[in-house]
Structure 1
Amino acid sequence: MASIDATAAGSGAVNAPYRMCRFTGLKVDQAAETLIKVNAVTAVIFLAIGGLMGLGVALTRWPAIQILPPEWFYLVLTGHGANVLLFWIIFFEIAVLYFASAILLGSRLAAPKVAWLAYVLMVAGALMANYAVLRGDSTVMFTSYVPMQASQWFYLGLIIFAVGALIGVMEFFATLVVAKAENTYEGSVPLVTFGAITAAIIAVFTLASG
């Protein structure tokens, strides 16, 4: 384990633990690395949950099997949509944003504790929304508005998840500022980072608008 060389990184640099990747030669901030792994693994878990629900829906539509009872079909379909089209994608996007900022730019993560707060809020919100769906009173798919109203726990879960995701995106932007201030890269940002910036801007508008 080593620390960032303040002289090489800029006069305003802050010491942070990192390691050198033996394959790419990239300087990897260990706090960012842990958060990337945790968010990516969590994304895959929600993808697996949503995938199993989708399999149940598909097998139910197969007349020879019809694995789910009628009252469970739209319930499971709602859970499938939320997990596959929302939770897994955004968890994975947060992991990509941290990689495109802290890792590709050789920077420390701006505020790891804030990033962990974002993760906890996202997990809590996703679990709360899934709980509301499995209770059976939030079978609304993506039409969770009047006249198809879901449980208050479903809406609260989505709001908490969105707040956590927004905090994660803000952490990404803050890390870009840190990288620029500490001169961890030269010239313009890499193309992957530029793409991540575009995705982050879209995410802010999407999450903020509900």
Structure 2
Amino acid sequence: MSVTTTYRTCPRSGLQFENQAEWLMKANAFVGVVWLLIGGLLAIGVVLTRWPAVHWLEADTFYMVLTAHGIDMLIFWIIFFEIAVLYFAASTLLRCRIATPKIAWLAFALMVIGSVLNNYAVFRGASSVMMTSYVPMMAEPNFYLGIILFAVGALVACGVFFGTLVVAKREKTYEGSVPLVTFGALTAAIIAVFTLVSGALIIVPAWLMSLGMMEVDPLVYRTVWWALGHSSQQINVAAHVSVWYLVA
């Protein structure tokens, strides 16, 4: 069965953008930059409070702001923008339609809902547990639920990226190996899957703990959480190096 797609050729770069893929890139990049902006504004509060001459925020407010700053800058901004890079590297560079655009939009919606829900929980004032949220220091359930929804959405988006690579290969939109930038994005996506699965393995139990349904060993939590924390930075590195090769 043939699939009808609409393409636009950029007059400056000559790159070919498939309509659904382009909108998905714009949406993910835009929301990522919004979280970067919010995280940056929150950073001002952190800096002005740490500056002894100013000491702007009271302790409770400071830790609330610091929690939101860490999550928005180190998780939401990075992964939203990486998803935009993945769609670009698969669809645009391989001159291919996006695989399952409806599922890609569902993934985007889950990521937006999850990130907003998490921030809502933080700014209610009862979830100032820092980005690491070490147990037994507990946040309210929506804090963890927001991260879970975001992670599920990001995993689905990575699946759409992998699916788009399959579509490109099957429809022979390129010859030989994938471009280096696409290979770098593939590396970032593989790291992202490991990162998100690691996060789910420990955030889901923490969510259940916040509901009073189970207990989580603090040492196990810290060990598994940093599989999320450290590898999330490598997503950023892999994606950025890929983009540098593109623009160099």
Length-normalised TM-score, structure 1: 0.92
2:146 & 2:193 partners in 1: Cα distance? 18
Counterpart position of 2:172:
183
Letter in 2 for 1:49: I
Q: Which moved more, 1:20-29 or 1:164-173?
A: 20-29
Choose from 153, 156, 181 the match for 1:164. Answer: 153
Choose from 189, 194, 197 the match for 1:200. Answer: 189
Residue by residue, what CA displacement relative to the aligned partner does 1:35-56 show, whole Å, maximum 9, x if unpaired?
1011101100000001111110
Structure 1 SS opposite 2:160: helix
Residue by residue, what CA displacement relative to the aligned partner does 1:7-64 show, whole Å, maximum 9, x if unpaired?
xxxxx76220111222232221011011101110110000000111111000011122
Counterpart position of 1:140:
129
Counterpart position of 1:7:
none
Residue by residue, what CA displacement relative to the aligned partner does 1:126-155 show, whole Å, maximum 9, x if unpaired?
000001100111111133232111110000
Structure 1 SS opposite 2:96: coil
- After TM superposition, the runs of 4+ consecutive aligned structure 1 residues lying more than 3 A away are none
Question: Is the 8 Å Cα contact of residues 13 and 182 (structure 1) preserved in structure 2?
Answer: no
Q: Which has the higher contact order (CA 8 A, sep 6+)?
A: 1
Q: Identify unmatched segments of 5+ residues in structure 2.
A: 200-248
Residues 1:155 and 2:144 are matched in the alignment: yes
Residues 1:66 and 2:88 are matched in the alignment: no
Residue by residue, what CA displacement relative to the aligned partner does 1:86-107 show, whole Å, maximum 9, x if unpaired?
0000000000000000000000
CA displacement at 1:75 relative to structure 2: 0.7
Letter in 2 for 1:47: L
Counterpart position of 1:3:
none
Q: Which has the higher helix share?
A: 2
Counterpart position of 2:18:
29
2:145 & 2:9 partners in 1: Cα distance? 41
Residues 1:95 and 2:84 are matched in the alignment: yes
Letter in 2 for 1:134: F
2:61 & 2:19 partners in 1: Cα distance? 43
Choose from 127, 140, 158 the match for 2:116. Answer: 127
Identical residues among aligned pairs (%): 62
Counterpart position of 1:15:
4
Choose from 30, 38, 42 the match for 2:27. Answer: 38
Q: Which moved more, 1:35-44 or 1:58-67?
A: 58-67
Counterpart position of 1:53:
42
Question: Is the 8 Å Cα contact of residues 68 and 131 (structure 2) preserved in structure 1?
Answer: no
Length-normalised TM-score, structure 2: 0.78
Q: Identify unmatched segments of 5+ residues in structure 1.
A: 1-11
Counterpart position of 1:6:
none
Question: Is the 8 Å Cα contact of residues 87 and 126 (structure 1) preserved in structure 2?
Answer: yes
Structure 2 SS opposite 1:196: helix
Counterpart position of 2:242:
none
Counterpart position of 1:4:
none
